[in-house]
Amino acid sequence: MKISDLYRENDNAVISCEFFAPKSEKGFQNLYKVFEQLKQALPAFYSVTYGAGGGTARPTLELVCKIQDEFGITSMPHLTCVNHSKEYLLDYIHELKDNGINNILALRGDMPGGGSYISHTEELRFASDVVGLVSELNHFCIGVAAHPEGHPDSVSLEEDIKNLKIKLDAGADFAITQFFFDNEFYFKFVEMARNGGIDKPIIPGIIPFINANHVMKFAKMNGTHIPDALKKQMVEIGDDRKMAVELATNQAVRQCRDLLDRGVPGIHFFTLNNSKPTLSVLQRLGII
């Protein structure tokens, strides 16, 4: 199944989830339990991150294959160009194809350890270059990232819109946004994108977090604005996981209700490999 078909053929919002490949066998076994728990939500597809510098390339491939072959859910691996030659990426892309994978999320990627970005080759410097490489095979549905509040490396939101259009024009079929806590950033971004000639689906990303301190750190790295009232609660909660899940669930439910009421094509949940917050959100929305 190609994910672009899901957005085209469904009248209701398409629900999807993101995971990362664990570092241990125990982590994988726990993740399989998460998959089983989320099956009741009938997710349309799962995406799996690639790790900085392609650090989880092999586990990512194994995991997306297992998701499709054993759990029967469409999967989409992330793919980045950091630390990779064109030859390596082509081999990897062909391996995905040979294993029945039909979707790829094409990204530039981050350097291991959070260092400054350095391209491996002049042929592969940007996400649009990855899109172009993947699209040459004429096999994959391609997703890309979007940044409603601007990518940290961008000088303006207008530049971000232009870069998104370059990626989509290079062969991408849809975009999934970085997480945000204020829906108006998303709707403003979509409006600017439409005015800029972009007509492909832009899917909002929502993070039902499990640790307030961690998500504040992520938000700072990504340039994500946290509304004052929410940030105050996060600071007070700190590392209290139970209170964090309750706060995150309430926040995500408010956001998702508004997004669904305003006709978004789908919602992509950044699960952090934990089913409870996402399931709670979907239950309170009446989706399950």
**What's the mean pLDDT in 235-243?**
94
pLDDT at 214 over 80: yes
The pLDDT value given to residue 5: 96
pLDDT at 65 over 60: yes
Name the packing angle between helices 183-195 and 157-169 (round to 10°).
Answer: 60
List the domains of the chain with CATH numbers.
3-284 (3.20.20.220)
The pLDDT value given to residue 186: 98
At a CB cut-off of 8 Å and minimum separation 6, what does 49 contact? 18, 19, 20, 21, 56, 60, 78
What is the pLDDT confidence band of residue 54, given thresholds at 50, 70 and 90? low
Query: How many Cα neighbours within 13 Å face the side chain of 93?
Result: 27
Chain position carrying tokens 């301190």: 213
pLDDT tens digits, residue range 4-51?
A: 999 998 889 999 999 999 989 999 999 999 999 998 888 999 999 987
**pTM score, two decimals?**
0.94
Active site annotation includes 18: yes
The pLDDT value given to residue 124: 81
CA distance 52 to 50: 7
CA distance 250 to 71: 29
Helix locations, the chain, DSSP H: 3-9, 25-38, 57-71, 86-98, 127-135, 157-169, 183-195, 212-222, 228-237, 241-261, 276-284
Burial of residue 36 (number of CB atoms within 10 Å: 0-12, 13-18, 19+): exposed
Burial 86-97 (b: 16+ CB within 10 A, else e): eeebeebbeebe
At a CB cut-off of 8 Å and minimum separation 6, what does 58 contact? none
**What's the mean pLDDT in 218-238?**
95
pLDDT tens digits, residue range 106-153?
A: 998 765 555 544 555 557 888 999 999 999 999 999 999 999 999 888
The pLDDT value given to residue 40: 85
The pLDDT value given to residue 152: 86
The pLDDT value given to residue 287: 87
- % of the chain residues with pLDDT over 90: 81
Please identify which of the residues 9, 18, 158, 246 carries the catalytic annotation: 18
The pLDDT value given to residue 19: 97
Instruction: Return mean pLDDT, the chain.
Output: 92
